[in-house]
A and B are shown apart, each in its own frame.
Chain A
Amino acid sequence: MTTAIEKKKKKMGSAAKKEALTGYLYLLPNFIGFLIFIALPIVAGFFISFTNYTGFKAPSFVGFSNYAKMFNDSQFKAALVNNLVYSLTSVPLTILAGLLLALLLNKKLPGQSFFKTVYFFPNLTSMVAIGCVSMLLFEPTQGPINNLLQFLGMSADHLPKWFFSTKTALLTVVLVVVWKQAGYYMILFIGGLKNIPPHLYEAAKIDGANSWQTFKNVTWPMLSPTTFMCTILCIIGSFQIFDIINVTTEGGPGRATTVLVFRIYKEAFTNTKMGYASAIAYFLFLIILVVTLIQWHGQKNWVNE
């Protein structure tokens, strides 16, 4: 009897061993690549940020001087300020636009799915393509947008110069990005609206609430987890803006549209200051880490009620 059980145990053991080996084996192709091209760079970047690595000669350790240098570097400071301004304008506008589009299409409407398809489409196209088109649409002297403004009565000397003026360049980027990504957040908001239990709306109707009261007391509070998540996603995305700026303004005019990733790119690949660029990159990571931690905290303590 005991021998039979022992035998069985031994057999199970070898089967479990085989399963474990298979498990490791199947993980391997992905894991090796993951280790070399994702995990290793994450660790290496941290160390590089404390060196004067240029990509050509052997690096030496420079302590915190890259990080100290950042806050004396007017280029970096301009990029940080621009990026904050960009985030503070593009995030609320995107969230508002996404929410309004979702509310517009939430209830039954003729052509509903057609509208959804159209609103989402710009989000799939590349920033390079959108940059190329918007450069022409916003052309200051003869572009169709300024032509329209002139037609609507704006005098020729007051027409905005869009991408070509230090005052309006960043705002133009914001406008284009909000236009492009509103549809993405619309999809997320529509998902959130679907999750609101219908009986709450029935109760509000019985209580005689009007549309605004229903929105304020039912939709908005019930939607708060979605709004929170969308805001976090949008903030994280706003610190990674690069493509459209590189295609349209290249950080200019002057420094009007330099942002963090743009600085990282320039320092690393134009000035070949890999060490210094890594310090900025880690600073960027830190910002995103803080936002992510806020999200985790928020999801635990507030949203999942």
Chain B
Amino acid sequence: MSDVSAVKPGTEIGQIVSGSLLEGLTMKLHPEGSVEDIRAGRFVVIEGAKNHYFSMITDVKLGTSTPGLMDDPPHRDDTLMRMVLSGTSTYGTVELRPMLMLPKADLNALTPTLSRQGTGEGVSQDDLRPVKTIPGHFSPVRTATEADVSRIFGGEEADSKFFHIGAPLDMDEIPVCLNLERFVERSNGIFGKSGTGKTFITRIALCGIIKNRKAVNLIFDMHSEYGWKGTFEGGRDAVRGLKQYFQDRVAVFTLDPESARRRGVSVDFEVKIPFSQLTVDDIILLRDELNLTPTTMETCYALVSRFGDERWLGELLKMDSDDITTFCETNNVNQSSLSALQRKLRVLAESCRSFLIDDSQHGIDVDAVRQIVGYLQSGKHVVLEFGQHSHPMQYMLVANILTRRIHSAWVRMKEEAQSGGQAEPPQLVITIEEAHKFLSPALAGQTIFGTIAREMRKYNVTLLVVDQRPSGIDPEILSQVGTKITCLLNDDKDIDAVLTGVSNASGLRGVLASLDSKQQALVLGHAVPMPVVIQTRTYDDEDFRTSMARGSGTDEQSVRRDIDKDFA
């Protein structure tokens, strides 16, 4: 950006003149500074007498000490008067939100370590404390330096748990790192309007997790953009997918082998789901899509009690009108609701026929779920592509069925591990898109995703929720989301939803609404010590490729060669 040099890191920009712990601090801008150089979301440091306060700019205002000035502003040609008034009678004030404090004594003790290592190593993030007081009047405020950033967010070189996801606003080249260990241990959310770069940030986060081996991933890839090639808005060539970066550590599963063949994707496994895997809960999840009433759902239970968990669907679809009449008479079920249910489920079976198969007729040779669990257990990451079957109904059905079974496998493994003997199941991160469909207030209590989001890390399974409509997600779940990476959101309801469970959210609202529409995100929550606005790093550029190849366990040259070959 051309205006980066306007305010260099470490420049003093003003003094604290008022404020409160609850409402944030007000800084008067130095007369020589221009308000136009100050941008919401920028990371600044207030140097109090005893502490450093790491803060974020939340608002910029124009102030005047002379009331009459507003009635009779100087003429636009009156350069002298404008220069005289600037910084005296008229001035800029900046609202700051202090996020963390660090006692100055600690800082001095840490500095030698910092300079020796040249990284954030030796700086314990435990020394950073939540802000419990505020700096005195006239404390100087300066823009943050690279040392400040690495002190707070850690450095990639220092520890493999840190992963570079971007740079603070106006501070290109200075990495902000995500603490991956903390990231994967809770459910996380990546939000933003359509086209703001959610998918790219998700890819970057996933690359970090895979590269640093912090968890295994299961990605429900609705639009087939993670596994193999992804698309770049704005006409640039396709970008590499996870499979190209991490070769044998990523397996691509697909529901639509046709589409995979057309796109030239090498698929590891084709997923088929037998009727016997469908439970009533899966059908309930689709009640909006299938327009089901509560009565029809009760009817499902009647079928289950008659035919059992595995056969009910197959039996229902096979029924003819006589069967229905007989069944209704013997089981005290409303005939019209049973026929409605049959009709609707036939629609479902029809629309999903390429992967949903009647195992009572065909039999099924390999259980896809067991395959996926096996891959995940052995530490391989699984991308499930939906190909053409990206209708929400299909996506939700498959995601729910698979996740439910994977979750129960994980619960079993975890319980076995607790009883001793068995190894703990690996930390699993499940990535879902269009999450509001699974986690809406009406459904969150019933779907497996709601359960995972709530019980969180107890069973080593967490969610990575990617969504453009966070207001559609149950607030109870949103408040439990550990780390939120939020791109631009305009809708007030969505902004409110993202800031649920965040203290002192008022200042962040403005920051969120003023993000650029591309490659900028507000990161807050468990994996970062303080909320920060970042310019996200560019996915799949030269730098990213190099850093992925580095330390990935294999010879760097050969990885680079493989990546390039795949893409030639």
A is bound by B: no
- Enumerate chain B interface residues (CB-CB to A < 8 A): none
